[in-house]
């Protein structure tokens, strides 16, 4: 099953609600930028729509028709957002942007070096001369990786459990992670169960997600190679300094 199909478009914000503070961080950069703003991996609009509601003109690009349809539905009547189906590795838009954002680790879908370079070169081509790029990636947790490769190997572990207050339907999501150290790829298998208020199973779906993980200086080299200069590297969306225990790498770069 495709990860970003109609089911995920409907349930994505419940199963993957983002990271605390990320919308405010990207919205703050968007308000500072010369419009318009471009979001890559815009999905169903979790980040783009609040930015548009703040009066900032934004274009949301995504490769999933189902996710874009949900974004259009949620932003009906909002003139400051436009949705575009496209590949973040190879897109061609008429505008030049004051800011390009890639929230919620969407850049980690770029599994190969060629994909990563193509995406960043395309971003640079679409930026104004004074434009900025902002994106976030998870900071690899070697202890967690080691546990999934030893104690948790093959285990299914609950990572989401919620009940819809309107319908009483419960959603439980289990995950099983496989870290491939040779290719720096993470394969996550999800099992999503829906249970009615009487405790009876309604549905069960299996999904899979493939991500590439990055280390700090690997990203710095990629940015330098594709014509960017790092302006900031934060350890979280509140601007705290990046360090060994930071859960996230939050990057802000300018055209070199």
For residue range 32-72, list pLDDT tens digits in order.
Answer: 999 999 999 999 999 999 999 999 999 999 999 999 999 99
Same domain, 148 and 131: no
Are 135 and 66 found together in one domain?
A: yes
Task: Please indicate, yes or no, whether residues 122 and 25 belong to a single structural domain of this protein.
Answer: yes
pLDDT at 164: 87
Q: Same domain, yes or no, for 202 and 235?
A: no
Output the pTM of the full model.
Answer: 0.93
> What is the average pLDDT across 129-140?
97
Q: Does the pLDDT at position 1 exceed 60?
A: no
Alpha helix (H) ranges present in the chain?
6-15, 22-32, 48-53, 65-74, 113-126, 142-148, 216-225
Range(s) of the domain holding residue 53: 6-140+215-255
Q: How far apart are CA 83 and CA 66, in angstroms?
A: 12
99 in the same domain as 38: yes
Identify the band that residue 18 occupies on the pLDDT scale cut at 50, 70 and 90.
confident
Q: Is residue 1 included in any domain, yes or no? A: no
Residues 163 and 245 occupy one common structural domain? no
Instruction: Give one DSSP letter per residue of 129-149, joined into a string.
Output: EEEEEEEEEEPP-HHHHHHHT
Quick one: what percent of the chain has pLDDT higher than 70? 98
Residue 149: its pLDDT value, please?
94
Reported as a single tens digit per residue, the pLDDT across 64-118 is: 999 999 999 999 999 999 999 999 999 999 999 999 999 999 999 999 999 999 9
What is the total count of domains within the chain? Answer: 2
Q: What CATH number does residue 10 fall under? A: 3.40.50.150
Residues 14 and 79 in one domain: yes
- Both 192 and 68 in one domain: the answer is no
CATH of the domain at 176: 2.20.25
Co-location of 153 and 182 in the same domain = yes
Residues 91 and 146 in one domain: no
Query: Do 206 and 151 share a domain, yes or no?
Result: yes
Kindly state whether residues 111 and 237 are assigned to the same domain. yes
pLDDT 10s digits, 204-250 = 988 888 999 999 999 999 999 999 999 999 999 999 999 999 999 99
Identify the pLDDT of residue 8: 72
């Amino acid at each position: 099953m495709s990860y970003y199909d109609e089911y995920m478009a409907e349930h994505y914000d419940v199963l993957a609600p983002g990271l605390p503070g990320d919308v405010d961080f990207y919205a703050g950069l968007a308000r500072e930028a010369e419009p318009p703003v471009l979001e890559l991996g815009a999905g169903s609009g979790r980040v783009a729509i609040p930015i548009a509601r703040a009066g900032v003109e934004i274009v949301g690009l995504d490769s999933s028709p189902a996710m874009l349809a949900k974004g259009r539905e949620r932003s009906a009547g909002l003139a400051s957002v436009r949705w575009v189906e496209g590949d973040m590795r190879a897109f061609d838009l008429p505008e030049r942007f004051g800011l390009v954002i890639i929230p919620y680790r969407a850049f980690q879908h770029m599994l190969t070096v060629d994909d990563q370079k193509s995406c960043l070169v395309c971003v640079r081509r679409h930026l104004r001369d004074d434009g900025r790029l902002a994106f976030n990636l998870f900071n690899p947790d070697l202890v967690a990786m080691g546990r999934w490769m030893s104690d948790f190997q093959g285990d299914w572990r609950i990572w989401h459990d919620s009940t819809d207050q309107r319908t009483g339907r419960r959603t439980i999501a289990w995950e099983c992670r496989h870290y491939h150290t040779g290719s720096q790829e993470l394969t996550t298998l999800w099992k999503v169960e829906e249970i009615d208020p009487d405790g009876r199973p309604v549905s069960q779906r299996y999904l899979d997600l493939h991500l590439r993980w990055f280390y700090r200086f690997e990203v710095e080299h990629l940015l330098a190679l594709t014509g960017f200069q790092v302006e900031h590297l934060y350890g979280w969306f509140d601007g705290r300094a990046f360090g060994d225990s930071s859960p996230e790498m939050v990057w802000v770069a300018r055209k070199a």
